[in-house]
A and B are shown apart, each in its own frame.
Chain A
């Protein structure tokens, strides 16, 4: 009997079948942050319950933290209050909290893998849709709402229906200047923002196999932008090498035993899928979005589309998106002026992302009147980047070098667009109003493409700027 990783992990964590037909699924790792947990703790308290497995929940603070000055109390009184609440809840219920002073703080989806908390074969959940990120290590990771955060705190379980499985095979070698972000944007363009609803995505093929763990994290991160709640890559030598020596990874002989179990959880060679989709890696060029959802994207050499080109059902939405973005159909997207450049987020705020961007930036200057920010995904990423001198490259070019957090990706702290500013961003959502200004505009792209745009002051093809 040939099984997929989805089958095996689901089976291993099944507690029972519920009267609703859903599965009661044990959750091996629960990650929480300040925005979606306070109401869950309140519900738990009202029910008179304790946290069932406090050692399986870890907290950090990321969404609302300022990335300029982090002196307490924060200037934003509500951000301060949310921080105080999370601290109090963790203390009261015995949960480990990677706070600002812990040196392990960062975006929840950056620190999980980085600390070795995220491991193959696990079930993982977090009150944040980008939890799919953790699937890069061969885990099933679910974004959940606050009521489900409560459910896990109380029972370490979720009530879930098993999704269908689509394998997405990326074959061949990526061309120079094309990165994991371009691959996932190309996948979403092909399958749409709702193509993955009801599915888990298994990413496979030679291009995925050749990717580093950080590149795989970028791919899995944006599964949810394609509608798939879960995305994963089967664990392999790259995964094991990445985990070795991380603080929460097994050590010594336990690591060898773990590796044997992890290997066994991977999809069997002759397993079958509900659907298989293939993409040709060499055909992908640097991508960016032109609209207000992540499927509205294009290659950097293409011309801005016309609503006439849209499928009938999407024509009005394309016209509305183009009007909101202020982009003119038929023109080249390269040359579109920007106001802000943002490198960071759970999608592209890791060390390898900053290295690639620094390559483009080295020895150059940010264009006049462009506000450019680098926001490392975690304190550990910031330390590693500083040890390599990456921060100097960015600072000399005119970028701001910030502290770790979600920042401009969703504009919950002081980092926001103002008015109709247009931002070249390495983050994951180009929704209207996403970056804190109701009329602000976001163009999603790889960190290298953001760096290129910051230097040129306009959208540029990074392939022409690589050393």
Chain B
């Protein structure tokens, strides 16, 4: 359950994916959800976009091996498929920086230990430009300090206290924490009229 693992810092080359409202159908088209494991999903990340746009960043040789994905607003909107963050993680992405994220996608990323940090619009624009010019440039996501560092430049990032806590303490797999409260769970269940068939 990877509970001994933590996500304090992620460092690596970055891949830019400009544009807003990139939905999970584009990250992993529904026809590739016909599976019973997440194995091999990386082969189909952005498959339709990549076929239609030969210069799609995921097609470009210079971005292969990148571990940090840089995106615009509302990334991951639409379907709740965890196949989307799994496809990105299996492709090699270890952290995402964006202007904003769709809620279910953000939760799914956190649940598999894939940190999503938010930057201001100007900083995202600058970062997209910087890594397109210098794809060899290393980017550091500092979850602990809530910073993104690129060369000499330091950008202030946002991540909620709760998510940051989960990443720093290795507790993004919520199941372990939820299991601790067995008696309280039963107590709440007993208190709910519908669980007891509205018997009183």
Binding site for B on A (CB under 8 A): 12-16, 18-22, 24, 26, 28, 35-36, 38-39, 42, 47, 52-53, 56, 63-64, 76, 78-79, 81-82, 85, 119, 121-122, 127-129, 131, 143-148, 150-151, 154-159, 161, 193-194, 197-198, 224, 227, 229, 250, 254-255, 257-258, 261, 293, 313-314, 316-317, 410-412, 429, 431-434, 436, 438-439
Contacts and interface: CB of A to CB of B under 8 A. Distances in A.
Contacts of B189: 26, 53, 156
A38 B47 CA distance: 23
B34 A82 contact: yes
B190 to A, nearest CB: 10
A4 to B, nearest CB: 19
Given A121-B194, A158-B178, A434-B30, 6 more contacts: A18-B162, A38-B36, A194-B21, A227-B77, A410-B25, A431-B25
A79 B34 contact: yes
A155 B34 contact: no
Contact of B74 (A193, A224, A412): A193
Nearest to A84: B36
B83 to A, nearest CB: 8
Contact of B80 (A19, A36, A52, A438): A36
B161 A21 contact: yes
Contacts of A35: 33-34, 81
13 contacts: A21-B165, A26-B189, A35-B81, A82-B35, A147-B108, A148-B174, A157-B181, A197-B103, A227-B77, A257-B193, A258-B194, A431-B26, A436-B31
Contacts of B194: 28, 119, 121-122, 250, 258, 261
Given A24-B178, A431-B26, A293 B193 contact: no
B52 A438 contact: yes
A28 B179 contact: no
Nearest to B101: A197
A254 B197 contact: yes
B71 to A, nearest CB: 13
B175 A154 contact: yes
B177 A159 contact: yes
Contact of B30 (A24, A122, A316, A436): A436
Given A143-B104, A159-B177, A433 B188 contact: no
Interface in B67-110: 73-74, 77-83, 85, 100-104, 107-108
For the complex of A and B, 8 pairs with smallest distance between CB atoms: A145-B108, A438-B48, A147-B111, A145-B82, A20-B162, A194-B74, A21-B162, A146-B82
Contacts of A119: 194
B1 interface: yes
Given A42-B37, A78-B34, A194-B102, A36 B48 contact: no
Nearest to B163: A20
Nearest to B197: A254
Given A79-B34, A82-B34, A254 B198 contact: yes
A28 B192 CA distance: 9
Contacts of A12: 191-192
B77 A194 contact: yes
A28 B190 CA distance: 11
B173 to A, nearest CB: 7
A15 B184 contact: yes
A14 B48 CA distance: 42
Interface range on chain B (Cβ under 8 Å from partner)? 35 or more
B200 interface: yes
Contacts of B162: 18, 20-22, 161
B63 interface: no
A15 B173 CA distance: 18
Contacts of B188: 13-15, 26
Interface in B6-57: 19-21, 23, 25-26, 29-31, 33-38, 47-49, 51-52
B110 to A, nearest CB: 9
B38 A39 contact: yes
A340 B112 CA distance: 39
Interface in B111-163: 111-112, 160-163
A121 B185 CA distance: 17
B167 to A, nearest CB: 10
Given A78-B35, A159-B174, A194-B73, A229 B192 contact: no
A438 B29 CA distance: 8
A129 B163 contact: no
Given A145-B108, A193-B77, A258-B194, A19 B48 contact: no
A413 to B, nearest CB: 9
Given A21-B161, A24-B181, A145-B82, A13 B192 contact: yes
Given A78-B34, A155-B178, A197-B100, A433 B80 contact: no
B166 interface: yes
Give the most central of A20, A81, A432: most B CB within 10 Å. Answer: A20
B4 interface: no
Contacts of B193: 257-258, 261
A293 B23 contact: yes
Nearest to B185: A15
Contacts of A258: 193-194, 198
Contacts of A18: 162, 174, 177
Contacts of B19: 316-317
Contact of A193 (B21, B37, B38): B21
Contacts of B185: 15, 24, 26, 52, 155-157
A197 B197 contact: no
A257 B197 CA distance: 10
A47 B104 contact: no
Contact of A197 (B1, B34, B74, B161): B74
B195 interface: yes
A148 B102 CA distance: 16
A38 B195 CA distance: 26
Contacts of B29: 433, 438
Nearest to A129: B80
